[in-house]
Amino acid sequence: MAELAGIYAASHGPLLVRKWDSVTPAHQAALTAAFAELGRRISAARLDALVIISPDHWVNFFIDNLPMICIGVGETHGGPNEPWMIKEFPHQTLPGHPQLARHILDTALESGFEPSVSQRMILDHGFCIPLLKAGIAPLPIVPVVFNDIEPPFPSVKRCYAWGEMLARAIASMPGDLRVGVLASGGLSHSVGEATMGLVEEAFDRECLAHFEAGHPAALCDFLTRRLPQVGNGASEIRNWVAAHGAAGGRGFELINYSAVPEVIVGCGFAAWNVNPVAARA
């Protein structure tokens, strides 16, 4: 059976690419080191496939057709179509893993989820910035889109349950695959709001403390209460919650956190120790 070989999270603020030259040297150094450590860990895990959970930034979907969750099941996926990403990202297409994707889909349906399906998804900056900045060589990707953009959102508890289901799907996938999960997005930031540019560092640190404590119910309660009170971009933390669910709510390790007003994002990077998951299985 397949093995859940690594679980990770990273921010993906567009200005990490678009306005990189405007980032202070100290923040550049911290962010570069964090992405490098993320890339080192993913490379060391020797993954055969990577499930990436990210929102869609109005590239594949819009308000006239906005699924709560969508799985990309195609043989290939399109690279980012944002002009500023096309200049930096070296791949026009990325390989998919349809067998794993369809197994995740089947497990989701059996578990009471009803995700949408895309045969060929365009992977925008949310998927591709972590790959680019962490220097991750192309490997088969199963993209999972969460609606973190426009309410109504999937509930925080539902996102945690999705992560639990994802771990079951990977564990029951036939073959010797080594599979990783990467949650892309967050932490606090605002886009197109009066508070755009404000990083809610106190919220971010309290949120990270909940992940480190490893108590799923307390984390979900905290985020259910607090997410509507901070910038709209903080909704992407739902992707981290799914990763936490895949890890069984344990083993969270913060790699780096930097409040970076130059990129209007509280930038977080993390990994989960998957050994507790394996020990409990």
Is 189 a residue of the active site? yes
Q: pLDDT per residue over 49-69, tens digit each?
A: 999 999 999 899 999 999 999
Query: Does 274 have pLDDT greater than 90?
Result: no
Classify each residue of 232-250 as buried b or exposed e, where b means 16 or more C-beta atoms within 10 Å of its C-beta. bbbbbbbbbbbbbbbbbbb
What percent of the chain is modeled with pLDDT above 70?
96
pTM above 0.85, yes or no: yes
Pick the catalytic residue from 57, 103, 125, 244: 125
Check residue 240 and give left, alpha or beta (phi > 0: left; psi -120 to 50: alpha).
Answer: alpha
Task: Kindly state the tokens that stand for 265.
Answer: 């994002």
Pick the catalytic residue from 12, 77, 97, 189: 189
Structural domain boundaries in the chain: 3-262+270-280
What percent of the chain is modeled with pLDDT above 90?
84
CB-based contact 238:54 (threshold 8 Å): no
Q: What is the Cα–Cα distance from 226 to 280, expressed in whole angstroms?
A: 31
pLDDT at 192: 65
Mean per-residue pLDDT of the chain? 93
Q: pLDDT per residue over 165-217, tens digit each?
A: 999 999 999 999 999 999 999 898 877 666 777 888 999 999 999 999 999 99
Q: pLDDT per residue over 209-250, tens digit each?
A: 999 999 999 999 999 999 998 878 789 999 999 999 999 999
CATH of domain 3-262+270-280: 3.40.830.10
